[in-house]
Chain A
Amino acid sequence: MRSAHRTGYVNTAFWDYCPSLLNTSEYHKHLVEVNWEKHMAERPEDLNLPNAVITRIIKEALPEGVNVSKEARRAISQAASVFVLYATSCANNFAMKAKRKTLNAGDVMAAMEEMEFERFLQPLREALDAYKKGLKGKKEASEQKRKDKEKKTDTEENDKSREEENLEEDDENMEEEQEGENDGEEEVEN
């Protein structure tokens, strides 16, 4: 049982207030109880999403002038983290069924349907299209700039070196954007 809140309120014992957990698998219960509590206790920052961003998303979703209590904000942030966990475990089931070790886009979409968030499917498809186009565009632009640069360095003299430095800066940004995407990705399959 969690300790009593300052104001005298207490979060009820874990199972006392929970209605039937028909939608929650045993696995998920375990996940929430063990992983969640443990992680939150040890390294809460790892499983939390940035407060400023969560707050902004909430504010933009609600009518103007509506206040959101600090407690509500924190709760929504935690709910979002749990959503990620739930979606991941659901998507992973689909991947495992297909005997794949890598979670792919299809698995996530299937998970959304399974979790009864069909309303997300269309916006997600559109967002993914835009994202892929964006990546492709950047890649092409970056390659084009590299080609242009190669042409220039072949024929250029020193007085154009300042222009090159600007191109280089853009190039590095492009490259780092790509690398940033893959940073920390141990086994990315696309």
Chain B
Amino acid sequence: MSGNDVVEKVDANTLNSKNISLPMSRVKLIMKSSPDVSSINQDALFLTTKATELFVQHLAQCSFKKGSGREKKTLAYSDLANVAEEMETFQFLTDILPKKILARDYLRSLEERGEDGDD
């Protein structure tokens, strides 16, 4: 019985019983990076992990549905940027899911506004 085998077995067992796929240890790392957070109860960690999974599903589904009436075959980045702007529930994502514009259009709009490049 090697150490690795035991660890793999443990992970599989643990995942099945909890019915979540995301690793709680990683979620915990992210939570800890938030200032002012001292400690996190195990149930709270589980709930946050599960909620994140539900969130991923919800975001993917909403982004996909937002497309035009025609048959959609691909979920693209623009779908996500659109849903972040259009749905109130995803407004907190606008900072990290900005819409993209062509570089030349952006530079032109800067010139029109008379600003030197923002940084």
Task: Mark A residues whose CB is within 8 Å of B.
Answer: 1, 4-5, 8-14, 16-19, 21-24, 28-29, 31-33, 35-36, 39, 46-47, 49-50, 53-54, 56-58, 60-62, 65-69, 71-72, 75-76, 78-89, 91-92, 96, 101-105, 107-109, 112, 115-117, 119-120, 123-124, 127-128, 130-132, 134-135, 137-138, 169, 172-173, 176-177, 180-190
CB neighbours (8 Å) of A39 from chain B are 33
Cβ–Cβ < 8 Å partners of B41 in chain A: 102-105, 188-190
Q: Within residues 96 to 118 of chain B, which ones have a CB less than 8 A from any CB in chain A? A: 96-104, 106, 117-118
Residues of B with C-beta under 8 A to A188? 39, 41-42
**Quick check: A66 and B118 within 8 Å, CB to CB?**
no
Contact with A along B25-66 (1 / 0, CB 8 A): 111111101111111111110111011111111111101100
Contacting pair A58 B99 (CB below 8 A): no
Does B73 sit at the interface, judged by CB under 8 A?
Answer: yes
CA distance in complex: A188, B33 (Å): 17
The distance in angstroms between the C-alpha atoms of A52 and B85, with both chains bound, is 27
CB contact under 8 A between A123 and B93, given known A102-B38, A116-B88, A177-B14 = no
The reply to whether A19 and B91 form a contact with Cβ atoms under 8 Å apart is yes
Prevailing SS type, chain A contact patch: helix
Known: A92-B36, A103-B37. A84 touches B30 (CB 8 A): yes
Bound Cα distance A138, B31 (Å): 27
Dominant secondary structure at the B interface: helix
Given contacts A35-B33, A69-B77, A84-B48, contact A173 B96 (CB under 8 A): no
Q: Are B96 and A78 in contact (CB under 8 A)?
A: yes
Q: How far is the CB of B63 from chain A (nearest CB, A)?
A: 8
B: number of interface residues (CB 8 Å): 81
Instruction: Say whether B80 contacts A72, CB under 8 Å.
Output: yes
A79's nearest neighbour on chain B, judged by CB, is: B93
Given contacts A82-B96, A130-B19, contact A62 B33 (CB under 8 A): no
Cα separation A187 to B57 with both chains bound (whole Å): 31
Complex CA–CA separation, A85 to B40 (angstroms): 13
The closest CB in chain A to the CB of B26 belongs to A49
Q: Is the CB of A53 within 8 A of B74?
A: no
Which chain B positions have C-beta within 8 A of A24?
Answer: 91-92, 95
Do B80 and A13 have beta carbons less than 8 Å apart?
no
Contact A88 B39 (CB under 8 A): no
In angstroms, how far is the closest chain A Cβ from the Cβ of B112? Answer: 13
Structural contact, A8 and B104, CB atoms closer than 8 A: yes
Contacts of B75 in A (CB 8 A): 58, 62, 66-69, 72
Closest B residue by C-beta to A165: B1
